[in-house]
Structure 1
Amino acid sequence: MSHNTILTALFLVIPATSLADEPVSLQTIQHQWAKCQYDTFNYDNKISCLQNNISLNQQALAKQPDRTDLKVWLAINKSTLAGADGGLSALSLVKESKILLEDVIQNDPKVLDGSAFTSLGSLYYQVPGWPISFGDDDQAEALLKQALAINPNGIDPNYFYGDFLARNGRKSEAITFLKKAQHAAPRPGRPLADKGRQQEIATKLKELQ
């Protein structure tokens, strides 16, 4: 399996300048991620889009280093870039994401409705196992279940657990969680992300049914 296919791409060019004295908001980072992930179809543009969003995310975090929500999103941006870019750089990016998410789980596990558990769990089942990387299905399932315990009706924890189950041949269970994700309430201020995720859910359900 090539490095280009080891990760699912979790995850419109960002303006190059921003007000230097004002940190970029979390909402801006989330919105730009959705544009990179779902509105940018040219390979080079997507890579550049994600790289720019990582830079904005890092700048915001440098000005507000205690913001665990920004750490979660830096991990999401880096792991999304790993999935889009592939190659040798992907493994270092997912390891960096893992470190960020573990730090959040240790210090603020419920931030963003437990998104750190969802993101780290998804990494554990999508990356290769030892000796190439840290992939581990048992660890993935444990983390995804912790995410669901915090946010049982959320679109992302149900989607990623459903995807995990599908990849492990647990078809009926996968359908249950994917349908629950399909009926999740819209997230305020994130219509593009919800639309893209719903398209992914519909595609997976079609494959399973």
Structure 2
Amino acid sequence: MIRRQLLAAALGAGLLLAPLSSALAWENEVEALKQRWEQINTRQAEGQRRGSLKSLSEEAERLVQANPGAAQPLIWYGIIEASHARERSGLGALGSARTARDALERAIELDPQGGNGSAYVTLGALYDRAPGRPIGFGNSDTAERMFQRALEIRPDGIDVNYYYAAFLEDEGRKNEAREHAQRAVDGTAREDRQASDEALREEARALLSRL
């Protein structure tokens, strides 16, 4: 009797621990993807990044497929594939941009905060930079909505303020662009994104001096 009770308790604990172990596994893998993405974007030369991002995107896609209900793997798949799109050209770049957009939009259905706003920042940049219809999906109104949502979540973020400032410059709204470029310069880098945030701070300084 006691042995059966112990066995039942052990099985019950196993059922409780299995989802937790699974979550921890993908969290560790997301962290590894994030760190490698940082290294590729801040340390590799321009000509080397495309191949590295392609491999990293394939890894992120496999993680998404293994964890279909988790938002964070989708967010990082979208961020990585958006970076991959930037390194490509022509239809290949547009295909990667569409893949990134779809992943990020699925992610915010699961997590309305979009990974502390990161999904919205990347979506804003994608809608800003993609060509418009009928070739692509670019749309200035949608881009601005995405940036505004990111600002609601993280108003002092270096990334959102820099990309929004660049968008505003393209729209001819220079006073607003100057304000957000300054906010990017003054922003606090995130501990887990320090290298890429500091790189964007430098770009924001350059943008501010140009404005």
Q: Give the shorter-chain TM-score range.
A: 0.7 to 0.9
Listed as ranges, the matches of 1:93-172 within 5 Å are: 93-172=96-175
Kindly provide the amino acid, as one letter, of the partner of residue 84 in structure 1: E
> Which residue number corresponds to residue 55 of structure 1?
58
1:1-209 matches, within 5 Å, as 25-43=29-47, 45-208=48-211
Letter in 1 for 2:108: I
Deviation at 1:65, TM superposition (A): 2.6
Instruction: Report the AA paired with residue 164 of structure 1.
Output: F
* TM-score (norm: length of structure 2): 0.82
- 1:67, CA displacement in angstroms? 2.2
Q: How many residues align?
A: 186
CA distance in structure 1 between the aligned counterparts of 2:103 and 2:75, rounded to whole angstroms: 7
State the alpha-carbon separation in 1 of the partners of residues 191 and 169 from structure 2.
28
Q: Is the 8 A contact 1:82 1:94 kept in 2?
A: yes
Q: Which has the higher contact order (CA 8 A, sep 6+)?
A: 1
Deviations 1:29-49 (A, max 9, x none): 122112222211141x21111
CA distance in 2, matches of 1:112, 1:102: 12
Whichever residue aligns with residue 39 of structure 1, its letter is R
Task: After TM superposition, give the deviation of residue 81 of structure 1 in Å.
Answer: 0.9
Q: Structure 1: how far apart are the matches of 2:109 and 2:65?
A: 20
Point out the structure with the larger helix share: 2
What amino acid sits opposite 2:172 in the alignment? Answer: G
Check whether the contact 1:109–1:116 (CA below 8 A) recurs between aligned residues. no
- The question of whether the paired residues in 1 share the 8 Å contact of 2:120 and 2:150 is answered with yes
Please tell me whether the aligned partners of residues 126 and 138 of structure 2 are also in contact (alpha carbons under 8 angstroms): yes
**Amino acid across the alignment from 1:94:** A
Q: Deviations over 1:79-113 (max 9, x none)?
A: 11111111221111111111111112222111321
| Gapped regions of structure 2 (runs ≥ 5) | 1-24
Task: Write the letter of the residue equivalent to 1:205.
Answer: L
TM-score by length of 1: 0.82
5+ long unaligned stretches in structure 1: 1-21
Greater radius of gyration (CA): 2
1:124-156 per-residue CA deviation (whole Å, 9 max, x = no partner) reads 111110111011111111111111111111112
In 2, Cα distance between equivalents of 1:141 and 1:59 = 31
In angstroms, what is the RMSD of aligned CA positions? Answer: 1.6
Percent identity (aligned): 30
